[in-house]
């Protein structure tokens, strides 16, 4: 597994990180605890030592599973977690209504006031069973709290030795600039895939010029780019993917047709479509690391395979030409 420096920080991360959203079950129709632990152990044992989680993923469950999996291995892994999404307090900006893993209705709030950040960090450290977090990221911006106040809280956590490096998620260029006036920002975690490339216009150029790493999440567009999800696919209760515009017609059929066009490339290399898609994503300008979710050991093995080869410039150009012909109604 290749490792890359995260921005200008001293932290190095595996180019493919374990995305731990799905193992929390929330928005994914549930998850199996034993399968999740086996997946985490397989990832760590095979060099995928960077793990990205968050309190909101299963309302603490994802962090708890990560904490259990890294027992006795803390010095081998890089833990990336988040703050700023609260379901247990009604402060900040209301985000959206949802249901927890038991089906109970709850409301999510974007809140990153100073005391809240400090409290969330302590809670995450307990669930993760560790005394420090490698990368601490605001999950979503909180318009009710000055960015400087939020980043001052993270700076204090760094001074206390509870956080190594500061990062952000879902920030635009102006928000990145504002945060950087208070603290050194190593990375910005944003959605990016073959079929969602809006960051290429403004964010990628800024991050390249400022040496800010981009951590790409949902590089497989929540599983769609594996080619395994067809029209009429049965999703588990609570799975939010069917409501995504990429999963709706005519986009679904157009994406599946595009993936059919890529199959000869994958077959020629004896790799899966998912591995081809992940490797293409890794080679895009500005992308330091990609998050690949997995709910079982088999999915981890497939994700690991995406880092064991390198698409040629000719292959990437072929893919890009096909992408240029793909028109989506988003």
Catalytic residue numbers, as ranges:
57
* Helices 273-282, 313-324: inter-axial angle, 10-degree rounding: 100
Running DSSP on this structure, what letter comes out for residue 276? Answer: H
Q: Is the dihedral of CA 242, 275, 66, 189 positive or negative?
A: negative
First to last CA, the chain: 35
Q: Is the dihedral of CA 10, 171, 23, 255 positive or negative?
A: negative
For tokens 């999996």, what's the residue? Answer: 69
Compute φ and ψ for 185, nearest 5 degrees.
-100, 120
Structure tokens at 54: 């968050």
CA distance 51 to 43: 9
Compute φ and ψ for 307, nearest 5 degrees.
-100, 5
- Sequence-distant (≥ 6) Cβ neighbours of residue 94 within 8 angstroms: 107, 108, 109
């Amino acid at each position: 597994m290749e490792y890359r420096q995260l921005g200008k920080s001293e932290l190095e991360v595996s180019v493919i990180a374990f995305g731990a959203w799905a193992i929390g079950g929330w928005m994914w129709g549930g998850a199996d605890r034993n399968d999740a632990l086996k997946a985490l152990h397989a990832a760590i044992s095979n060099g995928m030592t960077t793990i990205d989680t968050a309190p909101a993923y299963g309302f603490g469950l994802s962090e708890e599973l990560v904490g259990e999996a890294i027992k006795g291995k803390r010095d081998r892994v890089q833990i990336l977690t988040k703050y700023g999404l609260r379901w247990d307090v009604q402060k900040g900006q209301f985000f959206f209504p949802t249901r927890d893993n038991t089906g109970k209705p709850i409301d999510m709030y974007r809140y990153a006031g100073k005391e809240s950040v400090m409290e969330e960090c302590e809670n995450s450290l307990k669930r993760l069973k560790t005394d420090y977090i490698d990368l601490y990221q605001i999950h979503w911006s909180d318009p009710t709290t000055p960015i400087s106040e939020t980043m001052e809280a993270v700076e204090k956590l760094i001074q206390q030795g509870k956080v190594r490096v500061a990062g952000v998620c879902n920030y635009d260029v102006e928000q990145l600039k504002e945060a950087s006036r208070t603290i050194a920002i190593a990375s910005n975690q944003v959605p990016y895939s073959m079929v969602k490339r809006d960051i290429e216009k403004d964010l990628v150029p800024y991050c390249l010029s400022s040496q800010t790493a981009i951590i790409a999440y949902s590089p497989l567009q929540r599983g769609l780019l594996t080619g395994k999800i067809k029209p009429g696919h049965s999703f588990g209760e609570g799975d939010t993917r069917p409501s995504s515009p990429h999963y709706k017609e005519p986009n679904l059929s157009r994406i599946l047709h595009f993936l059919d066009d890529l199959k000869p490339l994958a077959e020629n290399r004896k790799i899966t479509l998912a591995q081809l898609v992940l490797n293409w994503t890794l080679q895009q300008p500005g992308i330091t690391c990609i998050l690949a979710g997995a709910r079982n050991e088999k999915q981890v093995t497939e994700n690991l395979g995406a880092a064991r080869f390198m698409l040629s410039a000719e292959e990437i150009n072929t893919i890009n030409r096909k992408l240029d012909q793909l028109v989506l109604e988003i």
